[in-house]
Amino acid sequence: MTVGVHVQTVYILNGPNLNLLGKRQPEIYGHETLADVETRCLQITDAAGLTLKFLQSNAEYQLIDWIHEAREEAVGIIINPAAYTHTSVALLDALKTCEMPIFEVHISNVHQRESFRHHSYVSLAATGVIAGCGTQGYELALHRLLRLVQG
């Protein structure tokens, strides 16, 4: 009998317009691209022996479909829902079905910005929230997630 080795998977999901990271508004979001962020996150997951799925979409339904996928396959989710943070009950509902650690990451300090950015639907489903740490926030969330998952 062959016993398969089960590799744990972490999903990092990115919402609308984050494909422009490093290419526009560097005063708010910095100079790093999403590909740079993925590379640094991969270094962490590789070292920990985990698989990383690092994804971005401008479409709400796509993010929801990936959350459904993660629900079956992942040990944890890190999500920067971008503008959907402040609007999407649908993302909240999808995340609420996931029984695993969920971290919400914002590159900017949303609480220092316009008041419509102060409320997050997603936070209601989040284990933890990181905001204002730049793109390093993804790594901080990943380290915390690994601590919870791997002990």
Interface with ligand CA2 by CB under 6 A: which residues?
17-18, 20-21, 24-25, 29, 80, 82-83, 85, 106-108, 110, 117
CA–CA gap between residue 138 and residue 117 (Å, rounded): 19
Q: Nearest approach, Cβ of 41 to ligand CA2 (angstroms)?
A: 15
Q: Which residues are catalytic?
A: 29, 106
Q: For ligand CA2, give the closer residue by CB, 107 or 145.
A: 107
Q: For ligand CA2, give the closer residue by CB, 75 or 95.
A: 95
Contact 18, 34 (CB under 8 A): yes
Q: For ligand CA2, give the closer residue by CB, 21 or 98.
A: 21
Which tokens go with 90?
């649908």
Q: In a 3-state reduction of DSSP, which class is residue 70?
A: helix
Q: Nearest approach, Cβ of 20 to ligand CA2 (angstroms)?
A: 4
34-44 residues labelled b (16+ CB within 10 A) or e (exposed):
beebbeebeeb
